[in-house]
Amino acid sequence: MAGSKFRPDRGLTARMVTTMGLLALVYMAFIAGLVLVGLNVWLVLLIVVGFALFSYFASDRIAMFSMGAKEVSPRQAPELHALIDRLCAMADMPKPRVGIADTDVPNAFATGHNEKSAVICVTTGLMRRLDSSELESVLAHELSHIAHRDVMVMTIAGFLGIVAGFLTQAGLRFAVFAGASRGNNNGPAPAVVALLVVVVSAVAWVLSFLLTRALSRYRELSADRAAAYLTGRPSTLGSALTKITGDMARIPTRDLRQVEPFNAFFFAPAFSRKGFSFSQLVATHPPMQQRLEQLSDISRQLGQGR
């Protein structure tokens, strides 16, 4: 975050480096495991490298398309752009592209593999519910993700899970097909190889899932801190968080399920009420109470400093 006036977070930097190092080990073990169970090394590299490049360079477009978001100009959304212009000037950072998603789910997210491709997106539901100061605090939270470069790290980290998930599903389908269609002379080798691919992919997916979830929880606390110190108004960020979380219960389950895949990138998680586990091991965000307590502590610190 060279040049940015967002508060540096050495804890976040250390966690990002550690997560990327551990994921690199999982990544290499994943490739080696697929080769050992019988897949052609060039096929494995083609799949893995292809997914990596696609996920890395197209992450912003994928997120915008999946959310039904559209990039907006200052003429189309003058108030939103004005808030982001002000925050970028305060933080001394380049302005990202700005998008709006037409959904009643109140949320915001930032994505992109670098500052040039970065985009910050808010939903129409969020803009309807928050006042100007609350919206500014949420935007500061999202901008800090870009400044800290944890958006880029999450994009890279999430790619392994995408590949592993794809190969798990493909392996299961192939195993069923091979098991049903093989004759007496063909033997079980194709189905066995497919099942081994599933096992290797599933293990890689679980490990990458847990690593990215742990990083995701910390980066949300870090972004809350950075936004609170930049704006000097921790209470407005807490107010926005309370409003969003409270209103989420009134959003139709179908709408929540549609956006759940983006929870790791959202300001606040959007969970459908059916089938959600509150286990801290798999949560993308820290508990709201922990976030509010941190903001309350910062508010006291800022009050004492005046």
Which residues neighbour 200 within 8 Å (Cβ) at sequence distance 6 or greater? 30, 33, 34, 37
Q: Which of 190, 181, 167, 177 is nearest to 46 (CA)?
A: 167
Rounded to whole angstroms, the Cα distance separating 223 from 230 reads: 10
CB-side neighbour CA atoms (13 Å) of 139: 33
CB-based contact 159:212 (threshold 8 Å): no
Q: Which of 66, 60, 67, 139 is nearest to 101 (CA)?
A: 67
The catalytic position among 142, 220, 260, 293 is 142
Active site residue 71: no
Which residues neighbour 187 within 8 Å (Cβ) at sequence distance 6 or greater? none
Q: Which of 97, 143, 92, 145 is nearest to 118 (CA)?
A: 97
Q: Which of 216, 223, 215, 213 is nearest to 295 (CA)?
A: 223
Is 205 buried (19+), middle (13-18) or exposed (0-12) by CB count in 10 A? buried
Residue numbers annotated as active site: 142
